[in-house]
Amino acid sequence: SEYETILTETRGRVALITLNRPKALNALNSQLMHEVVAAARAFDRDRGIGAIVITGSDRAFAAGADIKEMQSKSYMDVYLDDFFAEWDALAAVRTPTIAAVAGYALGGGCELAMICDFILAADTAQFGQPEIALGVIPGIGGSQRLTRAVGKAKAMEMCLTGRKMDANEAERAGLVSRVLPAADLLDEAMTVAASIAEKSLPVAMMAKEAVNRAFETTLTEGVRFERRVFHSTFATADQTEGMTAFTEKRTPVFENR
């Protein structure tokens, strides 16, 4: 494989990216960041892929950015490299992305999961932003995405104390869409991804764009944006197929156009 810190495979129209630095609990070093972003972008360009799942191991989704790599960096190192800005390219992926999280999702691991469109959690999952204990703060969007996901009270407490949330608390708080038995996590994530991938890819992209707009704009502007995008779905062959299939009582076959 062209990658050393991740594994990639495809199953039908679903792509799977598995973080694979087991000795470091999948700590996100620069190489892993480059590889995840490169793999996700390549799958995003592949019209044969309709959903991307990102997962780790049973023990750790990812225990954070690589502390050993960051330890000796100076302000000028991180400023001039715009350290971690590369992750923005993952947020810009248009194909739906799912994080399947078991074990630790700490610091950058929690942030990586939150960059994905939604999180499916094993009952073993633990989420946290422990950066403050290292003398830093979240740097891959954690203070922003966690606050939008769970509200100010929990986000503040987690960023200020480093306290971890277990899977059930994360579900109650709205950070994860569902909690699954650890043994079922990956199969269920792949099934959910397959159900997305059999829909119309351009329409799924539009749905994703519309939901994401809710985080970036006012309600009035967001509803206006949604309506325009909704109108534009009527320019797709897949809208015709979806509605025709319904009236003919058959399963639609989307052509992704």
Catalytic residue numbers, as ranges: 65, 108, 111, 131
Residue of closest CB approach to ligand HXC: 107
Alpha-carbon radius of gyration of the chain: 19
CB 72 to ligand HXC: min, Å: 13
Closest to ligand HXC by CB, 141 or 202: 141
Assess 249 for contact with ligand HXC (CB under 6 A).
no
Residue 215 has φ and ψ, to the nearest 5°, of -85, -10
CB 103 to ligand HXC: min, Å: 8
CB 217 to ligand HXC: min, Å: 27
CB 218 to ligand HXC: min, Å: 30
Q: Determine whether 221 is exposed, middle or buried from the number of CB atoms within 10 Å of its CB (0-12, 13-18, 19+).
A: exposed
Beta-strand relationship, 14-19 and 6-11? antiparallel
Assess 24 for contact with ligand HXC (CB under 6 A).
yes
State which of residues 61, 104, 127, 254 lies at the interface with ligand HXC (CB under 6 A): 104
Assess 25 for contact with ligand HXC (CB under 6 A).
yes
60 bridge partner residues: 104
Q: Are 27 and 64 in contact (CB under 8 A)?
A: yes
Assess 68 for contact with ligand HXC (CB under 6 A).
yes
Closest to ligand HXC by CB, 25 or 49: 25
Distance CA 252, CA 200 (A): 10
CB 166 to ligand HXC: min, Å: 14
Contacts of 181 (CB under 8 A, 6+ apart): 122, 123
Assess 158 for contact with ligand HXC (CB under 6 A).
no
Assess 250 for contact with ligand HXC (CB under 6 A).
no
CB 177 to ligand HXC: min, Å: 23
Assess 112 for contact with ligand HXC (CB under 6 A).
no
Binding piece for ligand HXC, criterion CB under 6 A, among 43-51, 102-110, 112-120, 147-155: 102-110
Site for ligand HXC in 119-148 (CB under 6 A): 130-131, 134, 136, 138-140
Given the rule CB under 6 A, which residues bind ligand HXC? 24-25, 27, 63-68, 104, 106-108, 130-131, 134, 136, 138-140
